[in-house]
Structure 1
Amino acid sequence: MVDIWNPDTFGLELLSLLRAESQLVSDFYSEKDRLMKEHLNSSTYQSLKPNRFDPAFSSFKENNLTPVLTDTRIRVWHYTRLLDHEVEMMQQRLVPSSLDFLENRLQHLVEKGMFTKEEADRVYQESPFHSQKELRSGRLWTVTLPLHCRDEGVLPLLENWGGESAYSELSDELLAAKLKRFGAPRVIEIETSLSDRQNAFMASDTVLEAWAKSLGVSVALTGCDLAITNCLCTAKLVRVLTEGERAFEELAKTYPEGISEKIN
């Protein structure tokens, strides 16, 4: 299993490919940094100049690196808020998001006396799934770069039960506050394939940034959102981190091992 932000975990085929093009990778990111500094320090406004290494770099990324990554399994991170029984269900089988899945989860809250039927119906009716079904259904959203639990990009997912499909368009503030009391913040470590070429292409940026950084180039690792879809049946839950556990609090700081020196 590869951490795409950590070259120490890269397989032999991936390392061989990157080593062969180290000069190109170094040149591209060094030039990118130089052009950005020149742009920001220019006395009069001017457009950012094109990177002269971009044609060769883009070709390498799309035609050489991406195909290798489609045969690679990587670790990704899913930020959520779950009840204990939902963790147990997730450990048995990873389930993609859907309107039916949200309805079943809400029904469980009603059965346990945590929600009234009217409250559950309100959350269901105002779910963005109704207007964004194609965008949200059949996906398990993750990130390729672990983020600390206080990062503003993931904090709402950890604070609100049900994810965006439950809270993002909910108009009732009292009901929204109630969602914050269910379950506990969790981060799910998942091992997944990059057999979806689009995911492999998106992940390639972080791989290249990490490699450039290992060459001594000043570059910030960005990471990306990654939706597990077609390969969900082969994805594996590695570990569940729960608020209060040391690993949860240290995520993206000292856990996983080496994370601080690799991304900072």
Structure 2
Amino acid sequence: MIDLWNPDTFSIELQRALEAKSQLVAEYHSEKRRLLDEQLNSSPYQSLKPNRFYSDYLWFQEHELTPILTETRIRVWHYARLLDHEVNTMQQELVPSSLEFLQKRLHEMVAMELLSQQEADQVFQESPFHSQEDIRSGRLWTVTLPLHHSAGGVSPLLESWGGESAYFWLSDRTLRAKLRKVGLPRILEIETELSDGLNAFSASSTVLEAWARKLRVSVVPKGCDLAITGCLGTAEIVRIHTEGESTFGEVGKTYPEGMSGSAT
């Protein structure tokens, strides 16, 4: 298992491929930064000029790095507010998002007397899944870079039970507040394959940014959202960080090892 943002964890095969193209990686990212600075400081304002290293860089990314990554297992991060029994269930089996799964979770909430049947019905009826099932269903959304729990992109997911599928379009403010009191914020470390070529290509951008940083180019790996789909059956939880535990506040700052020096 590797961390896309940390070259110290890269496989020998991946390191060799990157070492062979280190000059190209450094030149591309140095030129990218130069062109951006030139554009931002131009007067009158100019359009961003093309990067002369782009074609070779893209070919390397598509035809050399991506195939290696499709055979690689990586660590990703999932942010959610969960009840204890939901954590136990996820440790046994990771289940992709779906309207049916949301309904099952709501039934459990009613059985535990955490929601009334009327409240559960409202959450279900106002879920974005009804109109956005094609882009939300069958996925477990993760990020490739460990983020601190206060980061804007993940903090709403930790604040409210059920994530966007439950709270995003919920009109009842009282019910929204109730969902914010259910469960505890959790950060899940997940090991997964990258057998999906699209995911592998997206992941390769973080790898290249991390390698450029190793070469002392001024680049900060940005990471990307990654939806685990077809290979969910082979994914597994490595560790769970719950609010109140010491590591919960360290994720994205000093945890995991190498974080402070490799991705910030």
TM-score, normalised to structure 1, is 0.99
How do 1:26-175 residues align onto structure 2 when only pairs under 5 Å count?
Answer: 26-175=26-175
Shift of residue 139, structure 1, vs aligned partner: 0.2
Deviations 1:188-215 (A, max 9, x none): 1000000000000000000000000000
Distance in 2, Cα, partners of 1:113 & 1:183: 13
Offset, 1:114 = 1.0
| Separation (CA, whole Å) in 2 of partners of 1:113 and 1:49 | 60
Distance apart, 1:220 and its partner CA = 1.7
Secondary structure of the residue that 2:29 maps to in structure 1? helix
Deviations for 1:98-145, whole angstroms, at most 9, x for unmatched residues? 001100100011111111100000000000000001101110000000
Q: Percent identity?
A: 64
Deviations 1:159-204 (A, max 9, x none): 0000100000000100000000000000010000000000000000
> What CA distance in whole angstroms lies between the structure 2 residues aligned with 1:50 and 1:144?
28
Instruction: Tell me, yes or no, if structure 1 residue 248 matches structure 2 residue 221.
Output: no
Please list every run of at least 4 consecutive aligned residues from structure 1 whose deviation after the TM superposition is greater than 4 angstroms. Answer: none
Deviation at 1:245, TM superposition (A): 0.7
- Give distance in 2, aligned partners of 1:203 and 1:34: 24
Partner of 2:225: 225
Between the aligned partners of 1:130 and 1:4, the Cα distance in structure 2 is 34
| TM-aligned CA deviation for residue 221 of structure 1 | 1.0
1:38 CA drift (Å): 0.6
Correspondence for 1:12: 12
Aligned-pair CA distance for 1:81: 0.3
SS in 1 for 2:237: strand
Unmatched tracts of structure 1, length 5 or more? none
2 CA distance for matches of 1:150 and 1:94?
25
Query: 1:206: which partner in 2?
Result: 206
Q: Which residue identity does 2:219 align to in structure 1?
A: V
Local SS of the residue matching 1:131: helix
Q: CA deviation at 1:263?
A: 1.0
Q: CA RMSD in A?
A: 0.5
Q: For residue 70 of structure 1, what is the amino acid of its counterpart?
A: T
- 1:25 is aligned to 25
Q: Distance in 2 between matches of 1:152 and 1:252?
A: 13
DSSP-derived class of the 2:61 partner: helix
**Counterpart check, 1:185 vs 2:196:** no
Q: Which amino acid aligns with 2:32?
A: K
Unpaired runs of 5+ residues, structure 2, are none
Number of residues of Structure 1 aligned to a counterpart in Structure 2: 264
Q: Deviations over 1:35-94 (max 9, x none)?
A: 011111111111000000000001110111101100000000000000000001011110
Counterpart residue identity of residue 121, structure 1: D
CA positional deviation for 1:258 = 1.1
